[in-house]
Structure 1
């Protein structure tokens, strides 16, 4: 289900997050506070506290230097010790913490916490390429299992001046574009029992819909050696294995073509090769975008809040055509899956 739901009667319906869609709440932030935060961002920029930021590929092939140009955004980490209008940011912090509590109660998530947030400014001509905010730990290389938490829910709050996108207005362009799949009834994307979603399986029990595919990296090997992995889906609340246990040493796991690491397409092919032949053509990695994705576009209107699952929704920012697109964004984290008790024993 990729239907975008809006603020109604003061209550937010968070169910689209579980289905791989967006929650969009126009006017979630009062115009007064949006204006104060926008002014704060611009004052911090004038003090030289912003830096250029593009995207860093989180696949195991990453390793090269980051290169930026004029098409990239400017960002400023909204840390507690950041100077400027702390009163306005404290007001916002109370609101985002209230939202965090609502999400925990509504979605039954483990202790979410506000772990990252930043101001961003996109000038004319800048954009943000398509990406995922979070990936399975095994696709991140050596740093995959080193963090205590992971990104769970992505949030975006627009701070643009009123009239954005209107003739003669302060700016245009810079829409968020999310690429959402129609999910099977009752499917819950993102993670299951701590296992982060790796991909989607098309059709099957629900024609035209997609089911989340999860990767369990902690299957105990019969000989007690290196843990094995399994791809699975959830059917009627129970795990249904889609592959036999495998590892990077399995005969079905291809070697990287350049001998160093896997690019996104090679990684998708490697996981697809673990599936039975009848399922391989129906498998997609979560960051794959094709004609079966619905494109959801959200204009950067001041006070609008957007929420989505960090591991399930590829997205991008369209080029800013005019003006400055100002926003505050971040992630709610949840604990990363712990190592099993038997690991390392």
Structure 2
């Protein structure tokens, strides 16, 4: 059965799974279940095309949160994809990147690390069940088109763009991933502003815009017993304006938190102007979408590259604006090894970091068939340690073409 046909059949089947994600606020221990977005809700009308996704997905992403769609593909399709992934893993086609942790021994073990079937292997017609991967790519291409329309991110789906033509079919990056028993991945974001990537930051033709995963595990995966949850560090207050990037492609680097005088949390963007690793400035958008600069032009290195950079920004760039300095927070400040040691991170075994001030946690069980979607720039997340079994997924990123050099 084709993936698309399977999806349509799901509309006629009532969802039976219970809650599979939970959200709780910084400073509290009480978990509040989040209502699951079941595929049956695609009968709600949205203004996009194909109607593969519930319309509630779009405001969820726009609020900087994770959209969770259980049963997006049925278990028989999950099994086909996982069988292909398992076969290619057994053949040694996956690559390990040593990014995941798995306990305190410090010894590299490829069976426990995060392993990825990278794009060249995914696209290789001689490997595994290529026809099924191609069908899956067709499905994700339709999802990308719907997201581009309804999130007003047209650059996600431009016909002749590098993002849609040069790399993966259906998604710019697309792969199988496997976390071995005990593996975890520390808190991070999937995309950073080009100025924060070093000298090669502007050299890439595309950048990540939306992150997605479809889990390939059994439908009864229970995070309490099996681990492996995706933990997201969401904002407690709804952001005012576009998260991730502006329409002209300036990426977000931080937040201005809510105050009694300004009851709106505002994304802070970095204007890279000439793309020469200098002449940068931070700003937010007023309610009329005009730019409100909060710093003068500055060099991003070393201020934005070192541990403690958030404090440096406040002390050097916002020294004359205490009202803004008190509100300012980076999305994901750089970390140094010595700060990990002070926090005891050498012994960290993937049980999950706490939320920072202004954040709330949401844990998502990686149940088979579940699709998750979130902004690549603005949502920090981590993968909690798996326990006794491997954790499988299809994962990827939908890109937009690199911002053009601005005339100044």
Return the alpha-carbon distance in structure 2 between the equivalents of residues 310 and 295 of structure 1. Answer: 17
Question: SS at the partner of 2:81?
Answer: helix
Return the alpha-carbon distance in structure 1 between the equivalents of residues 71 and 373 of structure 2. Answer: 14
The TM-score with structure 2 as length reference comes to 0.71
Q: Find the counterpart in structure 2 of residue 59 from structure 1.
A: none
Q: Does 1:84 align with 2:135?
A: no
**Cα deviation code 1:92-112 (max 9, x no counterpart):** 111101100100110110331
Q: 2:311 aligns with which of 269, 277, 294?
A: 269
Q: Does 1:286 align with 2:331?
A: yes
Q: Find the counterpart in structure 2 of residue 310 from structure 1.
A: 376
Q: 1:296 aligns with which of 355, 359, 362?
A: 362
Return the alpha-carbon distance in structure 2 between the equivalents of residues 69 and 111 of structure 1. Answer: 40
Going from structure 1 to structure 2, the CA distance change for 1:227 and 1:208 (only over 3 Å counts) comes to same
Going from structure 1 to structure 2, the CA distance change for 1:219 and 1:201 (only over 3 Å counts) comes to farther
Return the alpha-carbon distance in structure 2 between the equivalents of residues 255 and 233 of structure 1. Answer: 22
Alignment check: 8 A CA contact 1:110 1:335 kept: no
Offset, 1:50: 1.1
1:123-202 pair list within 5 angstroms: 123-165=180-222, 172-184=226-238, 186-192=240-246, 193-202=248-257
Q: 2:273 aligns with which of 218, 222, 241?
A: 218
Q: Does 1:28 align with 2:69?
A: no
Q: 2:108 aligns with which of 69, 73, 77?
A: 69
Q: Find the counterpart in structure 2 of residue 335 from structure 1.
A: 401
Q: Find the counterpart in structure 1 of residue 144 from structure 2.
A: 100
Q: CA RMSD in A?
A: 2.8
1:105-120 pair list within 5 angstroms: 105-112=149-156, 113=164, 114-120=171-177
Going from structure 1 to structure 2, the CA distance change for 1:35 and 1:23 (only over 3 Å counts) comes to same
Q: Does 1:9 align with 2:41?
A: yes
Going from structure 1 to structure 2, the CA distance change for 1:274 and 1:116 (only over 3 Å counts) comes to same
The TM-score with structure 1 as length reference comes to 0.83
Question: SS at the partner of 1:237?
Answer: coil
Offset, 1:255: 5.4
Return the alpha-carbon distance in structure 1 between the equivalents of residues 236 and 254 of structure 2. Answer: 13
Alignment check: 8 A CA contact 1:5 1:16 kept: no
**Cα deviation code 1:76-98 (max 9, x no counterpart):** 11431161011221221111011
Q: Find the counterpart in structure 1 of residue 5 from structure 2.
A: none
Return the alpha-carbon distance in structure 2 between the equivalents of residues 341 and 74 of structure 1. Answer: 43
Offset, 1:213: 0.6
Structure with the larger strand share: 1
Return the alpha-carbon distance in structure 1 between the equivalents of residues 403 and 252 of structure 2. Answer: 13
Return the alpha-carbon distance in structure 2 between the equivalents of residues 6 and 237 of structure 1. Answer: 32
Return the alpha-carbon distance in structure 1 between the equivalents of residues 387 and 268 of structure 2. Answer: 38
Q: Does 1:230 align with 2:281?
A: yes
Q: Which moved more, 1:147-156 or 1:226-235?
A: 226-235
Going from structure 1 to structure 2, the CA distance change for 1:310 and 1:199 (only over 3 Å counts) comes to same
Q: Find the counterpart in structure 2 of residue 49 from structure 1.
A: 93
Alignment check: 8 A CA contact 2:211 2:398 kept: yes
1:251-262 pair list within 5 angstroms: 262=305
Alignment check: 8 A CA contact 1:246 1:274 kept: no
Going from structure 1 to structure 2, the CA distance change for 1:6 and 1:226 (only over 3 Å counts) comes to closer
Going from structure 1 to structure 2, the CA distance change for 1:4 and 1:290 (only over 3 Å counts) comes to farther
Offset, 1:4: 7.0
Task: Give the length in aligned residue pairs.
Answer: 315
Return the alpha-carbon distance in structure 2 between the equivalents of residues 166 and 317 of structure 1. Answer: 11
**Cα deviation code 1:87-145 (max 9, x no counterpart):** 22122111101100100110110331421111111121111111100011111111110
Q: Which moved more, 1:177-186 or 1:123-132?
A: 177-186
Q: 1:323 aligns with which of 375, 385, 389?
A: 389
**Cα deviation code 1:146-187 (max 9, x no counterpart):** 0111000000110002322289xxx71100000001344643
Offset, 1:208: 7.0
Alignment check: 8 A CA contact 1:233 1:242 kept: yes
